[in-house]
Amino acid sequence: MAQKEEATQAEAAAAPASQNGEEDLDDLADPEKLKELIQLPPFEIVKGERLPVNFFKFQFRNVEYSSGRNKTFLCYVVEVQSKGGQVQASRGYLEDEHAAAHAEEAFFNSVLPAFDPALRYNVTWYVSSSPCAACADRIIKTLGKTKNLRLLILVGRLFMWEEPEIQAALRKLKEAGCRLRIMKPQDFEYVWQNFVEQEEGESKAFEPWEDIQENFLYYEDKLADILK
C-alpha cells in the first residue's frame, strides 16, 4: 500500500509529460527504479554494481588507439580497516560522459563523502584509461587532504600519454603517493569476474583478446618511461 502511494506521488512529480505507458508504471512500482528515475538526470554519472558485457569488451579493451571510447569506466573496491582490525569491502562502478563530471571526480563526490575520518581506507580503482590532467589534479588535492585514504589506480590504457601536460600530471600523481599501474591480463579478468554482468546462474570464463598481453607490455613500457 505504502509503495503504491509513493509511486503515485512520484509519478506525478517525476514525469508530468511522460507517455505513461505500462512499462513506466511498472518501473515506478519498484522503489529502487523510482529513485533512479528521479535522481538520474540525462547524461549524468551512472552508478551500479555490474556493467554490461559489451561495455566491458569495448571500453576496457587495452587498444593502442582508443578512438570512439569517449567515456571512462571506473570500477572501485573500498577496503576499510575497522577498529576490530577487520577488513570490509564495498564495490561498484561509475561511468561518465565526458560532457559531465569525469568518473574520478564522481568517485570523490559520491563515494568518498561516506568515509569515516576515524577509519583507514585502501581504495583500488580499475579504470578504462588513465586520468586527464584535471582529474589528476583533483586526485592529488584529495589525497593531500584525505590522510586516511590510500589509492591504487590500475588503468587499461594511458590517455593522451604523448602530451607533456599529461606526462607531468602522471609524475605528480606518483609524487603525491598515488600508485599507478597498467592493468595486466589478470586484472582484466578480475574486473570481468567482479564487475561485469554474468548470465544467470553461471559465470562465463574471461576470454582475453588477442593482443591483450602485448598491449599491456606496450603501455607498461610507456608508463615506466614517463615515471622514471
Residues that bind Zn ion (CB under 5 A): 102, 132, 135
Cα(16)–Cα(87) distance, integer angstroms: 46
Q: Which amino acid is at 91?
A: R
CB of 132 to Zn ion, least distance (A): 4
- The SS3 call for residue 129 is strand
Cα(61)–Cα(188) distance, integer angstroms: 9
CB of 159 to Zn ion, least distance (A): 8
89-113 in b/e form (b: 16+ CB < 10 A) is: eeebbbbbbeeebbbbbbbbeebee
**Which residues are annotated as catalytic?**
104
Cα(79)–Cα(87) distance, integer angstroms: 6
- The SS3 call for residue 201 is coil
Looking at the Cβ atoms of 73 and 192, the one nearer to Zn ion is: 73
CB of 128 to Zn ion, least distance (A): 12
CB of 113 to Zn ion, least distance (A): 19
Strands 87-95 and 46-48: antiparallel
Cell 505504502: give the residue: 2
Looking at the Cβ atoms of 132 and 182, the one nearer to Zn ion is: 132
